[in-house]
Structure 1
Amino acid sequence: MKHRILMSLLFISSVLVSCQNKKEDNSNNTVAVTESSAGLQFNKDVNAMLKKQLEYGKPSFDNPYQYSEKDLEVTAPILNQLLLDNGYKIINNEEFSNKIQQIFNRIIDKNSTSKFLYINFIDKCDKALNYIPNNAENNGTFVVKNQNFITDLYPLPTIIDYQKTYAETAQEENSGSKNYKDATGNEVKKYLWKDITNLKEQRKKNIQTLIARNLYLFNDNKAQYKWLTLNDQYFMESLVKTFGYTQDPELLKWVIERTVFDKNDPSDYGKLFWIKDCDESVRLHANTFKIFQKLYVPNDSSENRFILDHIKSYLEYLDNNDNPESKVLTETEKVKIMANLAYFAEQYKYNASYNDGTRMMGRLRFFLGGSSREILQKNNYFNLPKFKEWWDNADYDEYFVDECEYNGTCGPDNQPMNITEWRKKHPKK
């Protein structure tokens, strides 16, 4: 009997420990990573490149070591093996090219002999290959052609345990000079890789990032999505705001709910709705309006209840010809964006469940002058089905926002006419 009780207690204890471990794993939000077999095998090319990188230490402003295509060529097989060891399914060239074009709006030239394509997250139209490891002033990722994956440029110590696999070379780091001369000949202290206290954690994060990005983007592995949105937020947000990738509804919803109109950075809100591509064409994000329609519901107590307020603020901002948008958009492009914003918001005026008083189409009428109105007409109101009807119906709203909001003449002693009074003086044509 005692034996049975003891066995039962041991079983319960084992279950509790197992559950606790699972809880800890989930709380860390980590991607399970298998150490790459490539990183555990000695390779003379890797060893030669590692010596150079260890000699100069961690990249810094004063570091004279210039990373090059060769650095990426040496690391690519290791990164490829890491992906394979962690379940990455290499897709064919055509499918990969289509994905790169869909996500980053970049075309892989089949006739190019270059092994890599660089995607610049700070200046998306700058296609020059940039072999500086990412830092505060530089951020980008490489497309590795034929092996069909993407990766940042990682120094070898940040992806392999070099002190284990390349012990002899690692010993040389201990006896090498702790200084080098910069471009002006001054002695500068090195930041040796061996002295970086969190190098192991950096390595783990880099590998997790590599795996999660590629599994998510090219294997449609949604299990990586949560980790990426918790640990790789700049990258995930840039997919939508920098490159205009809106085909993943879950990602788009996540970006939308993180983005509100901020008067200190109003342009950021506009990135939800449109993007100017490198060929100078403008893309409107129809999927954003679809997500907004699902998020904006009657009597909502969440932050989503301010969606129309944010759109109104952005519409007002966009009307100002001194904003940066006015320097990159033609008048037709700007009118089209404003028309789509007003059109989306105006639907709620005709739905009694919302009690909407934003008068968005009236605002648009107030903002748009003669030439802009001609653009609307010439472009058939951008083929928005009810636009003309709602535009004509908003003539009173134009009068109201003019009187009460933008000219400031509305007050206790000067109330605007109600619609019945106003319509008598301004009958519909």
Structure 2
Amino acid sequence: MMKNFNILTAILLFISCNNKGQDKKDANFITDTKYHYDEIVEIVLKKQLEYGKPSFDNPYQYSDKDLEVATPILNQLLLDNGYKVLSNEEFSNKIKQIFNRIIDKNSTSKFLYINLIDKCDKELNFFPNNAENNGVFVVKNQNFITDLYPLPLIIDYQKTYSEAAQEENSASKNYKDANGNEVKKYLWKDIHNLKEQRKKNIQTLVARNLYLFNDNKAQYKWLTLNDSYFMEALVKTFGYIQDMDLLKWVIERTKFDKKDPSDYGNLFWVKQCDETVKIHANTFKILQEIYTPDITNDMSNENRFLLDYIKGYIEYFADFNNKETGVSKEDKVKILANIVYFAEQYKYDKRFVSGYGDNSKMMGRLRFFLDKDEVNILQKNNYFNLPKFKEWWDNADYDEYFVEECEYNGTCGPDNRPMNVTEWRKQHPKK
């Protein structure tokens, strides 16, 4: 398989063997440049087959060598499926735009690791994804991204490497863990849907790279149906909002959930690894596009709850007792100002059902929650240059009273109605 690779470029420089109990003969064999790439693949494959499917109990320690030996295979799969390799500069720009990571030209590392859970964790993690590792590798100079796939998950080894497959047939189904306990292992040959897994892995590899780096929109639908975690992470974890179709897809499938309130905020802003906060202007464009005057009467359209979701998030994020925001007070106020400013427009939009926008009372809600220091931040920053913010802020004094009386003091009821705006204004004339 793949013997057309130039030996000088395909032979992998295995400096040392990181696997406990690795045969010295194998180590010498790997570093001997007279051998063909296929023979190196077979050495690594036999070790992966011997220990079986990765797990936290599995004594086989995957390393950069496992990824290195898979890289030419993955690269060829991409080329066979029409991938157009970008120049180093183009690829670096894309990685910066999508993942906000910089490929260091002076680094000797062949890979960059992108953690899909903690984007600021840059430590290389060579634990295969199917063993509950969530991350992708950037393959430098060959310019594509990939999971760390064990060889059985990307090649039909039983057909191509028959000797290794025969050895697997006689392999033990148990091994001893670090404590000396006998642990069952799962041989690759016994995985009933291995062929299907392999097919999906290849489809995922191809679709991600064609979509992100070749701007192939034909891959978008397959990815949203079959790789939704990755696609959501692009927006919610890394703040990639340049693809408006993707952003809209993420927005429409994200609801405010009191059990995980911060997730909804990922639509609006992201805290970057340098501690700065980036607000997603494109989110507001999409929200304005989908929240139209006819939506409030369309019982089949879940987007009609959009202002309710925003209200829930504002109450969570604006609560001055909330210690989980992880941002400075100024950034917190800036984020809230932008979200509230978007939502408050519907109070003044006569195209919507009468009273619907008024009931949300977004600006009044903000006035209720912000403390004196936070109000000072608003004023000091000229209301973050949002054109009508000050006007709407001043107009929301009654809404602040209503929110406090009816929603937080709980003094409203059938026998205790709050003052209407006319009555209240007589006691609180505008200054």
Asked whether the two chains share a fold, i.e. TM above 0.5, the reply is yes
Task: Determine the structure 2 residue equivalent to 1:292.
Answer: 287
The residue type equivalent to 2:313 in the other structure is Y
Q: Does 1:386 align with 2:388?
A: yes
Task: Determine the structure 1 residue equivalent to 2:369.
Answer: 367
Runs of 4 or more consecutive aligned structure 1 residues displaced over 4 Å after TM superposition: 35-39
Structure 1 vs Structure 2 CA RMSD: 1.7
| Helix, strand or coil at the partner of 2:293 | coil
Q: Which of residues 314, 322, 329 is equivalent to 1:331?
A: 329
Query: In the TM superposition, what is the alpha-carbon distance from 1:155 to its structure 2 partner?
Result: 0.3
**Unaligned segments of structure 1, at least 5 residues:** 1-34
Query: In the TM superposition, what is the alpha-carbon distance from 1:322 to its structure 2 partner?
Result: 4.4
The residue type equivalent to 1:101 in the other structure is K
Aligned length: 393
Query: In the TM superposition, what is the alpha-carbon distance from 1:412 to its structure 2 partner?
Result: 2.2
Cα distance in 1 for residues equivalent to 2:284 and 2:3: 46
Query: In the TM superposition, what is the alpha-carbon distance from 1:136 to its structure 2 partner?
Result: 5.9
Cα distance in 2 for residues equivalent to 1:215 and 1:305: 35
Q: TM-score, normalised by structure 1?
A: 0.89
Query: In the TM superposition, what is the alpha-carbon distance from 1:336 to its structure 2 partner?
Result: 1.0
| Helix, strand or coil at the partner of 2:145 | strand
Q: TM-score, normalised by structure 2?
A: 0.88
Cα distance in 1 for residues equivalent to 2:164 and 2:130: 26
Task: Determine the structure 2 residue equivalent to 1:348.
Answer: 346
Cα distance in 1 for residues equivalent to 2:156 and 2:53: 15
Q: Does 1:57 align with 2:52?
A: yes
Q: Does 1:224 align with 2:238?
A: no
Query: In the TM superposition, what is the alpha-carbon distance from 1:38 to its structure 2 partner?
Result: 7.7
Q: Is the 8 A contact 1:37 1:82 kept in 2?
A: no
The residue type equivalent to 1:79 in the other structure is L
- Deviation per CA, 1:336-391: give whole Å up to 9, x if none: 11111110011111111113121111111111121110000111111111111111
Query: In the TM superposition, what is the alpha-carbon distance from 1:55 to its structure 2 partner?
Result: 1.2
Task: Determine the structure 2 residue equivalent to 1:312.
Answer: 311
Q: Which of residues 161, 166, 173 is equivalent to 2:161?
A: 166
Q: Is the 8 A contact 1:36 1:82 kept in 2?
A: no
Identity %: 77
Cα distance in 2 for residues equivalent to 1:126 and 1:204: 30
| Matches for 1:263-282 after TM superposition, within 5 Å | 263-282=258-277
| Matches for 1:24-423 after TM superposition, within 5 Å | 43-135=38-130, 137-300=132-295, 301=298, 302-323=301-322, 325-326=324-325, 328-354=326-352, 355=354, 356-357=357-358, 358-423=360-425
Cα distance in 1 for residues equivalent to 2:4 and 2:346: 58
Cα distance in 2 for residues equivalent to 1:36 and 1:159: 14
- Deviation per CA, 1:88-107: give whole Å up to 9, x if none: 00011111111111111111
Q: Is the 8 A contact 1:38 1:81 kept in 2?
A: no
The residue type equivalent to 1:56 in the other structure is Y
Query: In the TM superposition, what is the alpha-carbon distance from 1:189 to its structure 2 partner?
Result: 2.3
- Deviation per CA, 1:237-291: give whole Å up to 9, x if none: 1111111111110001010010011111111111111111111111111111110
The residue type equivalent to 1:307 in the other structure is L
Cα distance in 1 for residues equivalent to 2:193 and 2:90: 38
| Helix, strand or coil at the partner of 1:412 | coil
Task: Determine the structure 2 residue equivalent to 1:24.
Answer: none
Larger deviation: 404-413 or 85-94?
A: 404-413
Query: In the TM superposition, what is the alpha-carbon distance from 1:36 to its structure 2 partner?
Result: 8.2
Cα distance in 2 for residues equivalent to 1:145 and 1:76: 11
The residue type equivalent to 2:365 in the other structure is R
**Unaligned segments of structure 2, at least 5 residues:** 6-35
Cα distance in 2 for residues equivalent to 1:168 and 1:38: 21
| Helix, strand or coil at the partner of 2:129 | coil
Query: In the TM superposition, what is the alpha-carbon distance from 1:320 to its structure 2 partner?
Result: 2.5
Cα distance in 2 for residues equivalent to 1:151 and 1:36: 19
- Deviation per CA, 1:63-85: give whole Å up to 9, x if none: 10000111101000000000000
Cα distance in 2 for residues equivalent to 1:177 and 1:262: 47
The residue type equivalent to 1:221 in the other structure is N
